[in-house]
Chains A and B, each alone.
Chain A
Amino acid sequence: MSSRRRRAPGGVTYDDVTGTLRERTLTALRDPGLAANLRSAGTAWAEQREVMDRDYGFNEMRDRARDIRRANIRALPALLTQLQHRVRENGGTVVRAADAAEACRYIVGLARARGVGMVAKSKSMATEEIKLNDALEDAGLEVVETDLGEWILQLAHEHPTHIIAPAIHLNKEEVAALFRAESNGDVPDDREGLVAHARMRLREKFAQAEMGISGVNLAVAATGTVCIVENEGNIRLVTSQPRIHVAVMGMERVVADWDEAAHILQVLPMAAIGYDAANYVNLISGPRREGEADGPEEFHLVIVDGGRGALRGSEFEEALSCIRCGACLYSCPMWRNVGGQTYGSPYSGPIGAVITPLLEGPSSPGSRDLPFMSSVCGACGDACPVGIPLQDLLVKARARSRSPATTKAGWAFRLWSLLWRRGLTYRLTIVGWRLGLRIRGRGGWVHRLPGPGRAWTSVRDLPSRWPPRR
Chain B
Amino acid sequence: MRPGILVHTMAGAPAGPTPGLALDGGGSDGRAPTTAVGGGVEAGSGGGRHPAPLLDSTAMRVLLMRTCLSDAIAPKVWKATRRALERAGVEVRVPRGQTCCGQPAWNSGHPGQARAVARHTIKVFAGTEEVVVPSGSCSAMVVHSYPDLFRGEPDEADARDLAARTVEFTQFLARHDLDPRAKPCGAVTVHDSCHMLRALGDGTSARAALDRVPGLEVREMANTDQCCGFGGTFALNYPELSARLGDQKAHDAVNSGAPEVVACDLGCLMHIAGRAHRTGTALRARHIAEVLGS
With an 8 A cutoff between CB atoms, is A462 at the interface? yes
Q: Which of B216-274 contact A (CB under 8 A)?
A: 225-227, 229-246, 270-271, 273-274
Q: Measured between C-beta atoms, what is the minimum distance from B63 to chain A in Å?
A: 15
Give the CA-CA distance A82 to B231 in the complex, in Å: 45
The reply to whether A431 and B23 form a contact with Cβ atoms under 8 Å apart is yes
- Complex interface: chain A residues within 8 A of B236 (CB): 452, 455-456
Main secondary structure of the interface of B (DSSP, over half): helix
Give the CA-CA distance A196 to B141 in the complex, in Å: 53
With an 8 A cutoff between CB atoms, is B18 at the interface? yes
Among the stretches B46-54, B83-91, B98-106, the one at the interface with A is: B98-106
Q: How many residues of B contact A (CB 8 A)?
A: 73
With an 8 A cutoff between CB atoms, is A459 at the interface? yes
The reply to whether B21 and A431 form a contact with Cβ atoms under 8 Å apart is yes
- Complex interface: chain B residues within 8 A of A399 (CB): 109-111
Q: Measured between C-beta atoms, what is the minimum distance from A33 to chain B in Å?
A: 15
The reply to whether B240 and A25 form a contact with Cβ atoms under 8 Å apart is yes
Q: Measured between C-beta atoms, what is the minimum distance from A38 to chain B in Å?
A: 12
Q: Measured between C-beta atoms, what is the minimum distance from A435 to chain B in Å?
A: 7
- Complex interface: chain A residues within 8 A of B229 (CB): 333, 375
The reply to whether A460 and B278 form a contact with Cβ atoms under 8 Å apart is yes
Give the CA-CA distance A414 to B234 in the complex, in Å: 19
Q: Which of A15-40 contact B (CB under 8 A)?
A: 22, 25-26, 29, 35
With an 8 A cutoff between CB atoms, is A470 at the interface? yes
The reply to whether A460 and B109 form a contact with Cβ atoms under 8 Å apart is no
The reply to whether B73 and A375 form a contact with Cβ atoms under 8 Å apart is no
Give the CA-CA distance A425 to B240 in the complex, in Å: 33
Q: Measured between C-beta atoms, what is the minimum distance from B201 to chain A in Å?
A: 10
Among the stretches B34-42, B164-172, B178-186, B281-289, the one at the interface with A is: B281-289
Give the CA-CA distance A29 to B227 in the complex, in Å: 17
The reply to whether B277 and A338 form a contact with Cβ atoms under 8 Å apart is no
- Complex interface: chain A residues within 8 A of B108 (CB): 398, 409, 413
With an 8 A cutoff between CB atoms, is A291 at the interface? no
The reply to whether B110 and A409 form a contact with Cβ atoms under 8 Å apart is yes
- Complex interface: chain A residues within 8 A of B241 (CB): 25, 29, 334, 337-338, 373
Chain A residue nearest to B70 (CB atoms) is A466
With an 8 A cutoff between CB atoms, is B177 at the interface? no
The reply to whether B231 and A374 form a contact with Cβ atoms under 8 Å apart is yes
Most B CB within 10 A of own CB, among A29, A381, A399, A400: A399
Q: Measured between C-beta atoms, what is the minimum distance from B33 to chain A in Å?
A: 18
Assuming A395-B109, A470-B282, is B99 touching A379 (CB within 8 A)? Answer: no
Q: How many residues of A contact B (CB 8 A)?
A: 63
Q: Measured between C-beta atoms, what is the minimum distance from B263 to chain A in Å?
A: 12
B284 contact from A398, A434, A459, A467, Cβ within 8 A: A467
With an 8 A cutoff between CB atoms, is B204 at the interface? no
The reply to whether B109 and A455 form a contact with Cβ atoms under 8 Å apart is no
The reply to whether A459 and B238 form a contact with Cβ atoms under 8 Å apart is no
Among the stretches B4-12, B114-122, B127-135, B207-215, the one at the interface with A is: B114-122
Main secondary structure of the interface of A (DSSP, over half): helix
- Complex interface: chain A residues within 8 A of B286 (CB): 467
With an 8 A cutoff between CB atoms, is B71 at the interface? yes
Chain A residue nearest to B246 (CB atoms) is A460
Contact with B along A394-408 (1 / 0, CB 8 A): 011111110000100
With an 8 A cutoff between CB atoms, is A181 at the interface? no
- Complex interface: chain A residues within 8 A of B29 (CB): none
The reply to whether B109 and A421 form a contact with Cβ atoms under 8 Å apart is no
The reply to whether A333 and B245 form a contact with Cβ atoms under 8 Å apart is yes
Q: Measured between C-beta atoms, what is the minimum distance from A337 to chain B in Å?
A: 5
With an 8 A cutoff between CB atoms, is A426 at the interface? yes
- Complex interface: chain B residues within 8 A of A410 (CB): 110, 113
Assuming A333-B227, A421-B117, is B100 touching A426 (CB within 8 A)? Answer: yes
Q: Measured between C-beta atoms, what is the minimum distance from A27 to chain B in Å?
A: 11
With an 8 A cutoff between CB atoms, is A416 at the interface? yes
A459 contact from B96, B100, B113, B242, Cβ within 8 A: B242
Give the CA-CA distance A461 to B114 in the complex, in Å: 27
B23 contact from A371, A382, A430, A452, Cβ within 8 A: A430
Assuming A376-B234, A381-B198, A427-B23, is B240 touching A463 (CB within 8 A)? Answer: no
B273 contact from A376, A400, A426, A468, Cβ within 8 A: A468
Q: Which of A51-99 contact B (CB under 8 A)?
A: none
Give the CA-CA distance A427 to B244 in the complex, in Å: 34
Q: Measured between C-beta atoms, what is the minimum distance from A373 to chain B in Å?
A: 6
The reply to whether B234 and A413 form a contact with Cβ atoms under 8 Å apart is no
With an 8 A cutoff between CB atoms, is B194 at the interface? yes
With an 8 A cutoff between CB atoms, is A433 at the interface? yes
- Complex interface: chain B residues within 8 A of A379 (CB): 194, 198, 225-227
Q: Which of A297-355 contact B (CB under 8 A)?
A: 333-334, 337-338
Chain B residue nearest to A338 (CB atoms) is B241
Give the CA-CA distance A401 to B111 in the complex, in Å: 13
Give the CA-CA distance A452 to B110 in the complex, in Å: 17
Give the CA-CA distance A461 to B198 in the complex, in Å: 28
The reply to whether B198 and A378 form a contact with Cβ atoms under 8 Å apart is yes
The reply to whether A434 and B113 form a contact with Cβ atoms under 8 Å apart is no
Assuming A421-B99, A467-B290, is B239 touching A456 (CB within 8 A)? Answer: yes
- Complex interface: chain A residues within 8 A of B226 (CB): 333, 377, 379
Q: Measured between C-beta atoms, what is the minimum distance from B244 to chain A in Å?
A: 5
Give the CA-CA distance A47 to B72 in the complex, in Å: 40
With an 8 A cutoff between CB atoms, is B77 at the interface? yes
Q: Measured between C-beta atoms, what is the minimum distance from A186 to chain B in Å?
A: 40
**14 other contacts beyond A35-B244, A399-B111, A423-B120, with CB at 8 A cut-off?**
A25-B238, A334-B241, A337-B241, A337-B245, A381-B198, A382-B198, A399-B109, A422-B97, A423-B97, A430-B68, A452-B236, A456-B274, A459-B243, A467-B284
Which B residues are closer than 8 A to A by beta carbons? 16-18, 21, 23-24, 68, 71-77, 96-100, 104-111, 113-114, 116-117, 119-120, 124, 148, 194-195, 198-199, 225-227, 229-246, 270-271, 273-275, 277-278, 282, 284-287, 290
Task: Provide a sorted-by-A list of 22 A–B residue pairs whose CB atoms are within 8 angstroms.
Answer: A333-B229, A372-B233, A373-B234, A375-B227, A377-B226, A379-B198, A379-B227, A396-B109, A410-B113, A413-B108, A416-B113, A420-B68, A422-B120, A424-B97, A426-B100, A455-B239, A456-B274, A458-B239, A460-B246, A463-B74, A467-B284, A468-B284
Closest 7 CB pairs of A and B: A375-B231, A398-B109, A423-B97, A466-B74, A377-B227, A460-B274, A378-B198
